[in-house]
Amino acid sequence: FASRAGRIARNTIEEAKEAESRPGARAISGSRVTLREGPSTRHAVLTVLLLGTPVFPVREDENWIRVRTAGGSVGWVHRSLIR
């Protein structure tokens, strides 16, 4: 448990540092938000993003935003779940 907690803490610190260093960073506003392969709920889930996770918009669609995470994952999140 301690090694997992340490790894999570390091990742959180790295994400926060990257968000501070890049203009245009936004944050996930839902408690558990799915990052999807495409801009609809029909697309596969790549991962789940937690509340406050920094994301960097890459492209915007009508209701969806393609984002990149600090860890390098790229996918789509519904516009209403990003602040």
The model's pLDDT over 33-80, given as tens digits with 9 standing for 90+, comes to 999 999 999 999 999 999 999 999 999 999 999 999 988 899 999 999
- Cβ–Cβ under 8 Å, residues 83 and 25: no
pLDDT for residue 19 is more than 60: no
Q: How far is CA 10 from CA 17, 69, 78, 83, in A?
A: 11, 15, 27, 24
d(CA 17, CA 59): 22
pLDDT for residue 9 is more than 70: no
Binned at pLDDT 50, 70 and 90, residue 11 comes out as low
> pTM (2 decimals)?
0.75
pLDDT for residue 16 is more than 70: no
